[in-house]
Structure 1
Amino acid sequence: MDFDLTWLLWGLPVAFALGWVASRLDLRQWRIEGRQAPKAYFRGLNHLLNEQQDQAIDAFIEAVQGDPDTTELHFALGNLFRRRGDYDRAVRVHEHLLSRADLNRKERDRAQHALALDFLKAGLLDRAESALSKLEGTAFENEARLALLGIYERSRDWAQARAIAEKLDSAEHGAFTTRVAHYLCELAELAHREGQAERVRALLDEAVRRAPTLARGWMARSALRNQQGDAAGALDDLLALAEQAPAALPLAARAMAELAQQTGRTDPVLRTLGNAQARAPSIDVTEALARLAPQPEGARGMYLRHLEAEPSLVIASQWLAGETLSNPQAQSSVQRALEHASGPLRRYRCAACGFEARQHFWQCPGCQAWDSYPARRVEEL
């Protein structure tokens, strides 16, 4: 049977034509899909810039459905869910990213960090801790350690906080020596409640050694020595505080005066307090000096010297208490009024958030900032 070449001649052009039509259809479909995805993406960006988060989320969901392999859209969508407070959906987005086998190491670490932030914002501290711990050795290591430090402080896990702070300090990601000293003092308080006297002393010795300019370590160790009957050693610690952390002397002035009376070492204490008062008058230092003031000047003389150097309603109220007016009933009423008016002026105020308290805090109970309370009262700020 002879082969008819006519069919071949007709078949080649037909096959070429069909291939060309198919390629044009595929190209057209690709262009349509390529245009739809960017439109949804840019529409989401536009909503985001206009602070229309709900509309932006809808647009990004549409874009992700059109191209499920786009990791950047997944990250954008997850961050929007987190900012909106929809933490469950944010977690699902980032867990979906982590489950993808085609994700490279850099993007996987990024998804792990985003997932940890989801748990942290949702208040799931145990899950956040677990997620953050997996970022050790990654590009997000420093951020993860800082977040872990915040978690351990909130949960008052001072041993873990100390370990993380020491890692940050050794990695030169900031100065955390003072923070470590605070943690040591917190651990010393826990050990004191458990009756571990030797451990308390060791922790406070280390706190003083690590951060000699932190007043808390000196004051805590002084209080411990005084409880153990070593009043002389307790006073030595406070005198060392005056040299290492002179700005914090008002916090220790009262205890210093009491120890001076116990030990009979009033001269060095009067000299130390007097020098501090000459540099910057302080209510607490004046009260300590008034307690130790020799006659004939006495306490009233100390109060007057303070008022001459710096006006103070608190000191004026204390000076008036030692005066005798012609009308005792009027004096009593005036005294109560002054004490009532000066009461709020004796508080301490956080320099970070403005939270006021009657006592001095090393860590603000309002904003959780460390060393944000000045050693001076509200009236002196």
Structure 2
Amino acid sequence: MATVALVGVQWGDEGKGKVTDFLAARADLVVRYQGGNNAGHTVVVGEEEFRLHLLPSGILYPDKTCIIGNGVVIDPAVLFEEIEALTRRGFTLARLLVSERAHLILPYHRLLDAAEEERRGRGQIGTTRRGIGPAYTDKAARTGLRVIDLLSEDFPHLLAEAVDYKNQLLSKVYGKEGVKYEEVYREYQGYAERLRPYVTDTSLVLSQSLAEGRHVLFEGAQGTLLDLDHGTYPFVTSSYPTAGGVCIGAGVGPRAIDYVLGVAKAYTTRVGEGPFPTELPGELGREIRERGREFGTTTGRPRRCGWFDAVIVRHAARVNGLSHLCLTKLDVLTGVAPLKLCYGYRYRGEEIREFPASLSVLRSCQPLYEEIPGWTEDVSQVRRLEDLPYNARRYVEKIEELTGVPVALIGVGVRREQMIICHSLFS
């Protein structure tokens, strides 16, 4: 395969950072195509842990070209914090490229994000309040500022117009104090020259690389059920984490994607508000959270944990066109018995197998489970499928059966090398 699109198939937090880092060893370019610093990818290399928010997870390899695509919204302060943190740890970022068409997050975006969440009260979406949604709002409203605008001579005028409008919005609608133009201008002018060496037409770079037959890995953030169109709207993110988002967010055509790998946990988690049919609110849910270290990389918020839900993965398989699954954190379920897999829902006395669009329907759905025996053997050192305990293999096979998607990779620990390869990618 020349190109692989990696997407989350649950509510995000599936372990895509580790999988991207694992596959990056076989790729030439790694491309982040959507989201902002509301995402967090944790990668463990040896005894070191790295938490990335904007930088593609392939950045830990010195010979990989890493691209932040036009579909990403960039907070320059966060980007340079990450760059400086990796530089202090001995990494070089000479092969990092940033799309000139990517939109910027500005201080007023963060203020608007927080103000809107406060206005919602009990109906809050649960955003990270990092300004992601308002930045995408401006992009759609054609009032956003892009990286190329920051580097142009028109930036002072464009920023002045934006600040004037946003300050009126903050004061007259939300009753909040706005931002000071001079302070924002000085801050962002400082970013401009630091950013300039990385900025280019990344769509053109990708086009040339694909023409040369180079291996490209497209890294998504969040997950399918947080997709703006196909997720649990309105409890979603503001971009398109699905495979279709690759084309828009990286600037490539559909024929550039050879293979779509969906990443799913061996169970299900969710951060923030919204319905979650297979949630385990009791002691078992808390135990899985602790064992799986289920706390948000970006916010530190505890994740809600529940049984594996094949209904949502089948939905993700359809809208993404999945080729295979990568099943992560199988090791976390060691010692849990019996295990349950959700194969459908019951709604008003009827069984449904497809994921409903209506949240009122979803809230009323009762999960239908198939029980399967657990295992007690340690799987963290296993590297071949045939060496997994019988019940662990049966669990994987049952997931394949219920989702209709074959499993290519199985994660059995947080480290880079703790991966079982069932099907070779980039072969």
Q: Which has the higher helix share?
A: 1
**Fold shared, TM-score > 0.5 on shorter chain:** no
TM-score normalised by length of structure 2: 0.21
TM-score normalised by length of structure 1: 0.22
Q: Which has the higher strand share?
A: 2
